[in-house]
Homo-oligomer: A and B are copies of this chain.
Amino acid sequence: MAKVAFIGLGVMGYPMAGHLANAGHAVAVFNRTAAKAEKWNGEHGGRAAATPREAAEGADFVFSCVGNDDDVRQVLTGEAGALSGMRPGAMLVDHTTASAELARELAKAASERGVAFLDAPVSGGQAGAEKGILTVMVGGEEPDFASAKPIMAAYGRTITLMGPVGAGQLAKMMNQICIAGLVQGLAEAIHFGKQAGLDIATVIGALSKGAAGSWQMENRHASMAEGRYDFGFAVEWMRKDLDICLAEARRNGATLPVAALVDQFYAEVEAMGGRRWDTSSLLARLER
Q: Which residues of A contact B (CB under 8 A)?
A: 100, 123-125, 135, 137, 158, 160, 162-163, 167, 170-171, 173-186, 188-193, 195-199, 202-203, 205-207, 209-217, 219, 233, 245, 248-249, 252-259, 261-262, 265, 286
Please name 23 pairs of A and B residues whose Cβ atoms are closer than 8 Å in the assembled complex, sorted by A: A137-B203, A160-B206, A162-B202, A162-B203, A171-B206, A173-B192, A174-B192, A177-B192, A178-B186, A178-B188, A178-B217, A181-B181, A181-B182, A182-B186, A182-B214, A184-B257, A185-B185, A185-B258, A191-B256, A192-B245, A192-B254, A211-B233, A255-B286
What B residues does A188 contact at CB under 8 A?
Answer: 177-178, 181, 254-259
- Identify the closest chain B residue to A198 (Cβ): B170
A124, B213: Cα distance in complex, Å:
12
CB pair B211–A215 under 8 Å, yes or no, is yes
CB pair A171–B249 under 8 Å, yes or no, is no
CB pair B162–A212 under 8 Å, yes or no, is no
- Identify the closest chain B residue to A122 (Cβ): B210
- Given A185-B177, A207-B174, check contact A192 B252 (CB 8 Å): yes
Count this chain's copies in the assembly. 2
Closest 8 CB pairs of A and B: A181-B185, A214-B214, A178-B212, A160-B206, A177-B189, A195-B252, A195-B254, A192-B254
A137, B189: Cα distance in complex, Å:
15
Contacts A123-B212, A192-B252 aside, 17 further interface pairs with beta carbons under 8 A come to: A123-B207, A135-B206, A160-B205, A162-B206, A167-B198, A171-B207, A175-B207, A177-B188, A178-B185, A179-B212, A181-B258, A182-B182, A196-B248, A209-B215, A213-B214, A214-B216, A255-B286
A177, B189: Cα distance in complex, Å:
5
A214, B180: Cα distance in complex, Å:
13
Expressed in whole angstroms, the minimum distance between the Cβ of A119 and any Cβ of chain B is 13
What B residues does A137 contact at CB under 8 A?
Answer: 203, 206-207
- Identify the closest chain B residue to A192 (Cβ): B254
CB pair A163–B258 under 8 Å, yes or no, is no
